[in-house]
A = this chain, B = another copy of it.
Amino acid sequence: MSTDAPVTLYELVLENGRSASPYVWRIRYALAHKGIPYESRPVGFTEIREQYGGRFKTVPVLEHGATVLNESWQIAEYLDRVFPRRALFATAAENATVRFADACLAEVLLRRMFYIYVLDVHNAARPADRAYFRASREQWLKCTSLEAFTAERERHLPKMRAALAPLRAQLAHNPFLGGAAPNYADYIALGYFHWVASVATLPMLARDDEPLRGYLERGFDLYDGLGRDARMRPLFE
């Protein structure tokens, strides 16, 4: 595929217009990192399946000319192959290690984040998407209701904050998870924070969490403040 062919990113959009998939945020950062211009195509939760006749159930979906890709890791690796300038992964070992860190971070964070924020995502979704979001997530999380699932979210909050210890440990050594400069591990982490900032009615982080405050300032400033806007809800109490 010629690198000149147009690039289109299908993004999940909330009622307020913000992009709300942590996986889409990774690709937004990856495209910015590589300096690839693209057109954003916002879709709601219910529209993802309609696109491409049900071939894809999730975003991000990236079109590049006639190539259509789904799944953020596949997209990131495709971008490095086809647009080699400013590699996301300088070596195969870096790619593998970021993949492993991604899996570890998901293990540490993902379920805890749902315990706290899944109802906020529902309430921030476009009204037309809410019934589908509720039904699919209640089935997936095996819960009677999103309200019941998040009923003890105040109790989960300290556990989630404690579970962010690996980020703080890393940021004691380096300005970014990837070291002196951000790498794809940072785009993964920033994606989680952008996701929460798009929907949160309960601040994720304690006032005195300076390691993470400094990191998020640096991270959200990247690429001319990609994704920073007035619709972001406070991440710090």
Specify which of B96, B103, B163, B170 is in contact with A96 (CB 8 Å cutoff).
B170
Contacts of A99 in B (CB 8 A): 170, 173-174
- Interface contact A183-B103, CB-CB below 8 Å: no
Enumerate A158-193 residues with CB–CB distance to B below 8 Å.
Answer: 163, 165-167, 169-170, 173-174, 176-181, 183, 185
Which of A103, A170, A174, A185 has the most C-beta atoms of chain B within 10 angstroms of its own C-beta?
A103
Copy total for this chain: 2
Q: How many A residues touch the partner, as a band? A: 20 to 34
Known: A107-B163, A163-B107, A165-B107. A170 touches B100 (CB 8 A): yes
- Interface contact A179-B93, CB-CB below 8 Å: yes
Asked whether A90 is an interface residue with its Cβ less than 8 Å from the other chain, the reply is yes
Would you give the shortest CB distance from A108 to chain B, in whole angstroms?
A: 6
